[in-house]
Structure 1
Amino acid sequence: MNLEDLTQRLRDFAAARDWEPFHTPKNLVMALSGEVGELISLFQWLTPEEAAAWRTDPTMEFNVQDEIADVTLYLVRLADSLGIDLLAAANAKIDRNETRFPPVER
């Protein structure tokens, strides 16, 4: 599956449930923020060592993947509702960052 397929699957999912009226940019940003908060809460009080070992706990591994999926899905839905090409926007940002942050000379 590629990003276009995922975007269409999300469109179909929302349409089948009549959710389009609720998928406004404001609502999607708020939902995205909430999901990021849930992801943050999984790591909030862990030591750096505990955070690095997140895959050693099957429950933690499932929860991290689940919350990252939620963040991804809301971000894809938001970009679609705004008519933003996520890959083009991400690549343009990396291009700008390459200028702002030159590589470290070794």
Structure 2
Amino acid sequence: MSSAMEEEGVSLEELKKRMAEFAKERDWDQFHSPRNLLLALVGEVGELSEIFQWRGEVERGLPDWKDEEKQHLGEELSDVLLYLVRLSDICGVDLGKAALRKMELNAIKYPVGICKGSSKKHTLFHADKSDANGDIAAVDQGHRQ
């Protein structure tokens, strides 16, 4: 096992490099078009979904799951992550920077003062209207994406 795998955390950059090496060693670059990678990613998300299918809600930490079930979950989560990292690399998108930017945009869409504790989608909050008390009103329907 390499030292990078033994570290506490692995960067997206490290995963990107390893995925590129993995594909190059196998002459798979020819197959790694954005479309093909996206379809592979969707397939892996389907496999991940199957793990949760028919279980209903599950508790955080999955305390009732067997070790083998958690290991399988980790493998499917990893497949999704690796295809996502590879897709972002092939498309020339810095996934880490894009994710941080998206979080900043979400912070604007969902300000703590009006969204805390709510699952409503940002389009259902009416920041420009106030109720009689001067509070920001929110529509009572829908869910956040």
Cα distance in 1 for residues equivalent to 2:111 and 2:87: 31
Q: Which residue of 2 aligns with 1:99?
A: 108
The TM-score, its normalising length taken from structure 2, stands at 0.67
Cα distance in 1 for residues equivalent to 2:45 and 2:56: 19
Q: Which residue of 2 aligns with 1:89?
A: 98
Higher helix share: 1
The TM-score, its normalising length taken from structure 1, stands at 0.90
Aligned Cα root-mean-square deviation (Å):
1.5
Letter in 2 for 1:85: D
Query: Which digits, 9 at most, give the CA deviation of each residue in 1:43-97, with x for residues without a partner?
Result: 011021xx22366311210111000000000000000000000011101111111
Q: Paired residues, what number?
A: 103
Letter in 1 for 2:38: V
The gaps in structure 2 that reach 5 residues or longer are 1-9, 118-145
Given the alignment, which residue of 34, 53, 57 partners 1:44? 53
**What SS does structure 1 have at the residue aligned with 2:111?**
coil
* 1:10-89 aligned within 5 A: 10-48=19-57, 51-52=58-59, 53=62, 56-89=65-98
Higher strand share: 2
Identity of aligned residues (%): 42
Q: Which residue of 1 aligns with 2:15?
A: 6
CA contact (8 A) 1:54 1:61 kept: no
Letter in 2 for 1:15: K
Cα distance in 2 for residues equivalent to 1:59 and 1:93: 34
The gaps in structure 1 that reach 5 residues or longer are none
**Bigger relative contact order, structure 1 or 2 (CA pairs below 8 A, ≥6 apart):** 1
